[in-house]
Amino acid sequence: MGTKHKTPLLDDLEKGPFPSFVTEIKKAAEHSEYAQDLLGQLELSFKEKVTHWKHGGIVGVRGYGSGVIGRYSDVPEEFPGVAHFHTLRVNSPSGFFYSTKALREICEVWDKYGSGLTNMHGSTGDIILLGTKTENLEPVFAELSSRGWDLGGSGSAVRTPSCCVGQARCEWSNIDTMAITHDITHHYQDEMHRPAFPYKFKFKVAGCAIDCIASIARADMSIIGTWKGDIQIDQDEVKAYAAAGMDIQKEIVELCPTGCMSWDGSELKINNEDCNRCMHCIAKMAKALRPGPEKGATILLGSKAPIVTGALMSWVIVPFMKMEPPYEEFYDLVDRIWEWWDEYGKNRERIGELIERLGFPRFLKEVGIEPHPAMVKEPRRDPFFFWSEEDIEK
Amino acid sequence: MAELPQRQTDIGPPHYEQFLPPVIKKNYGKWIYHEELGPGYMVHVAESGDRVWTVRVASPRLLSTDTIKEICDIADKHCDGYLRFTTRNNIEFMVDDESKVEPLMKELKEKGYMIGGIGSRISNVVHTQGWVHCHSAATDASGIVKALMDELHEYFTSKDLQARVRLAVACCVNMCGAVHCSDIAIVGVHKTPPRIEHERLRNLCEIPSTVASCPTSAISPDPQKKSVKIKLEKCMYCGNCYSVCPSMPIADPKNDGVAIVVGGKVSNMRSHPMFSKLAIPWLPNNPPRWPEVVDAVRKILDAYIADARKHERVGEWIERIGWEKFFKLTNLEFKLQHVDDFTFARETWRMAATFKW
């Protein structure tokens, strides 16, 4: 085993009630030199208030351009255990359900070849195996893939799609988020493992507008379940909520953003034509109200974090799409969008940024999507718009 | 390495169905309602009459295989060998009979797991790698989360809030954690421009892409040095050039720190999803416990608790009372940095004569 480092600053973070990441690294350090030297290097960062990881480094497994993030220490002489400390992104199963048998298998491989440290999960939703040497990458991949696990996305590729728990354990999910995510992931294996796009492309699938997977904030394509038709009301259950102390007027009717509800003390009425399906009433009265009968998804496009000219949230491009296998309409749309992005996108330009640069109307026209008022909050405020040849009288 | 098994490629993730607890598999798509039974457990009821009880515990996200094996032991003992993780990295244990809840919770408590995070409270904090594993981190993420949650843990385990309050930490403006739509979020920021290592840059970096990476056109070619130059007054310290070109390091231990942004949400409930907005432009990196950051979050949360209405998220509360009142109630200083001069600037200026004194 390597050197046991003194870590007074990190030790302080073992105190207190919340579970400690330092304790986790120390547990791994009992049997891993990587984790021992990670502790040492991290203590140095805490002391000097600066990271000690070098910039990038291209490493990977044969035939793949993604799934492994190269990481090297900038103080390898001091901490040889983390001289290489590469991450493998392992594609998680939809919904983050696991059998203990499967988790133990992953642990066994990782204890043999890596640091014994993981993230369950990374921000995008991969199982993150944190830290190993270059020469161990192929063995880890062979061990994992022979047991049915594959790597996720990284770089300018499709990133590992993820979803909320969906119909597995939620009564509000209008679409089968886990099946859709599984299908998309398998459909785009090549696009995920061999980066060929201008930049990253993320899919996230949420069962309803509560959006537990935060798709609207962090997916290039956000698929959010919704419905058509009337909210289903069980008036007896509404009364039961009232009897149990819920102030239906104040907590439900007055908080409805469209003012489409009324309550006279015995009957809850909803003017469904005015409902925008925000989910507030349904979420607060789960026993009494259920989404309407015709299920599908709203497809939104473009969200990303602030780097570089500011954050974007996804916006509506298809108000309603049935999301049923084999998802032909969906894949056709994605392929058309990618073709346009491939044609015009600059290096490191997300789809949302490209649409901003070239214009949403041009995107709609060239990708072949009919404009719809649901796509905008309001029409444009300025009088500067384009016409095409066929609109002009000669 | 001759004994290695045969590798397979492009097989994709395993099918989720094999990982579903039997009660989940049987009632898939047939759930009719659920009830929160306490801060850390809930029950879902299916059309068949079957029920599944879920117990949620906190996690530091960074887990050793030892801990994963321990939660597997717990799931083997109580949950037929299945468990799941949430989007916010909580661990969820599910049982199919009410009598199994109490022994499960007892063992979790005995082993030191923190039960909670369901409903109108603080759930696990979404965060990024920080100094544990990232080259562009302006701060650590796990350390801030630990310090913060040691202070606020009661809002995970027991105390009610008006609505859920989602906390997040990103260690730089790349925001791998997508903290830009959180109720209260902390983001690592730089305050000084990158330094140019001319000798390395000419061998390591592509000059056109480095120039193109700058959103404010502060970088231009320097043909004499076969490198680039920076107009310092135009740099906004985003670090995008460093992502493209490793010879432009931007980390600066004396000046790196964190900003606090508030009022974001992703849910469409009641109001539209919202971006978080700047509350505090800079606080120092003060490891291991970032006391200034923890105090500031506490202050914002206390003002919310004192003034918000039931079901109101932080962003909805601020929209109702107005930002001028937010700064008053939180006692935070409004500075020049709060006034936007970038992409969204126009939309943020007050084009009305109505505001609160």
Banded model confidence at residue A185, pLDDT cuts 50, 70, 90: very high
Residue B310 to residue A251, Cβ atoms within 8 A: yes
Q: pLDDT digit string (tens) for A260-296?
A: 999 999 999 999 999 999 999 999 999 999 999 999 9
A111 contacts A88 by C-beta, under 8 angstroms:
no
Q: Which of A218-232, B65-79, B126-140, B167-181 has the lowest mean pLDDT?
A: B167-181
* Residue B61: pLDDT band with limits 50, 70, 90: very high
Residues of chain A with CATH 3.30.70.2500: 8-146
Of B34, B73, B287, the CB nearest to A286: B34
Residue A79, φ and ψ in degrees, nearest 5: -130, 70
Answer whether residue B3 shows pLDDT above 90: no
Give the pLDDT band of residue A233 (cuts 50, 70, 90).
very high
Q: Answer whether B146 touches A (CB < 8 Å).
A: yes
With a CB-CB cutoff of 8 Å, which residues 353-392 of chain A face chain B? none
- Give the pLDDT mean for A376-382: 96
Look at domain A230-290 and name its CATH class: alpha beta
pLDDT in tens, A58-108: 899 999 999 999 999 999 999 999 999 999 999 999 999 999 999 999 999
The count of CB pairs under 8 A between chains A and B is 366
Q: Tokens 């898939």 label which residue?
A: B28
Residue A34: count other Cβ atoms within 10 Å of its Cβ.
26
The pLDDT tens digits for B184-232 are 999 999 999 999 999 999 999 999 999 999 999 999 999 999 999 999 9
Does B1 have pLDDT greater than 70?
no
Flag whether residue A57 sits within 8 Å of chain B, measured between CB atoms.
no
Q: Cβ(B126)–Cβ(A125) under 8 Å?
A: no
Instruction: State whether A141 and B288 contact (CB < 8 Å).
Output: no
Question: Who among B9, B91, B268 is closest to A209 (CB)?
Answer: B268
**CATH 3.30.70.20 in chain A, residues?**
230-290
Average pLDDT for chain A: 97
- Of A216, A197, A223, nearest in space to A349 by CA: A197
Q: How far is A367 from chain B (nearest CA, A)?
A: 26
Q: Do A307 and B54 touch (CB under 8 A)?
A: no
Distance CA A351, CA A62 (A): 29
CA nearest to B86, candidates A166, A221, A110, A22: A166
Task: Give the 3-state secondary structure of B140-199.
Answer: CCHHHHHHHHHHHCHHHHCCCCCCCECEEEECCCCCCCCHHHCCEEEEEECCCCCCCCHH
Q: Looking at the predicted structure, is the pLDDT value of residue B354 above 60?
A: yes
Contact A42 B1 (CB under 8 A): no
B8 in contact with A, Cβ within 8 Å = yes
Distance from the B27 Cα atom to the nearest Cα atom in chain A, whole angstroms: 8
DSSP B281-337: EEEE--TTT-HHHHHHHHHHHHHHHHHPPTT--HHHHHHHH-HHHHHHHHTPPP-GG
How large is the average pLDDT for residues B15-38?
97
Q: What does each C-alpha distance from B228 to A308, A362, B218 come to in angstroms?
A: 19, 35, 10
Interface of B with A in 283-342 (CB under 8 A): 285, 287-289, 310-311, 342
Q: Rounded to an integer, what distance in angstroms lies between the CA atom of residue A40 and that of residue A34?
A: 10
Residue in B with minimal Cα distance to A125: B87
Q: Is B238 on the interface with A (CB under 8 A)?
A: yes
Residues of A with Cβ-Cβ distance to B84 under 8 angstroms = 95-98, 165
Q: Is the pLDDT of residue B2 over 90?
A: no
Nearest Cα neighbor of A208 from A188, A226, A189 is A226
Chain A interface, mutation test: which of B51, B133, B294, most A Cβ atoms within 10 Å? Answer: B133
Quickly tell me which residue has 């491939």 as its tokens: A342
Q: Does A287 sit within 8 Å of B33, measured CB to CB?
A: yes
Q: How far apart are CA A285 and CA A272, in angstroms?
A: 17
Cα gap A346→B268, rounded to integer Å: 32
CATH domain A8-146 topology: Alpha-Beta Plaits (3.30.70)
B4 touches A at CB < 8 Å: yes
pLDDT beyond 90 at B86: yes
Is the pLDDT at B15 greater than 90, yes or no?
A: yes
pLDDT tens track for B101-114 = 999 999 999 999 99
**Has residue B236 got a pLDDT over 60?**
yes
- Angle of the B314-321 helix axis to the B291-307 helix axis, nearest 10: 70
Q: Using a CB-CB distance cutoff of 8 angstroms, which residues of chain A are in contact with residue B344? A: 310
Question: Vertex A269, ends A265 and A274: CA angle to 5°?
Answer: 145
Q: Say which residue, B173 or B72, is predicted with more confidence.
A: B72
Query: Hey, are the CB atoms on B268 and A56 less than 8 Å from each other?
Result: no
Residues of chain A found within 8 Å of residue B10, distances taken between Cβ atoms: 150, 189-190, 193
- Within chain A, which residue ranges are assigned CATH 3.30.413.10? 162-227+295-389
**Residue of A227, A226, A177, A228 lying closest to A203 (CA atoms):** A177
The 10s digit of each residue's pLDDT in A6-56 is 999 999 999 999 999 999 999 999 999 999 999 999 999 999 999 999 987
CB-nearest to B20 from A16, A97, A216 is A97
What is the mean predicted confidence (pLDDT) over B48-74?
98
At residue A248, does pLDDT exceed 80? yes
A121 preceded by a cis bond (ω within 30 of 0): yes
Distance, in Å, from the CA atom of A288 to the CA atom of A233, rounded to the nearest integer, reads 6
Q: What topology is assigned to A162-227+295-389 in CATH? A: Sulfite Reductase Hemoprotein; domain 1 (3.30.413)
Of B6, B134, B177, Cβ closest to residue A146: B6
Q: Where residue A1 falls among pLDDT bands split at 50, 70, 90?
A: low
Mean pLDDT of B302-315: 98
Instruction: Write the Ramachandran bin of A54: left for phi over 0, alpha for psi from -120 to 50, otherwise beta.
Output: beta
Contacts of B173 in chain A (CB under 8 A): 305-307
pLDDT score for B230: 97
pLDDT surpasses 90 at B5: yes
Q: Indicate whether A136 pLDDT > 80.
A: yes
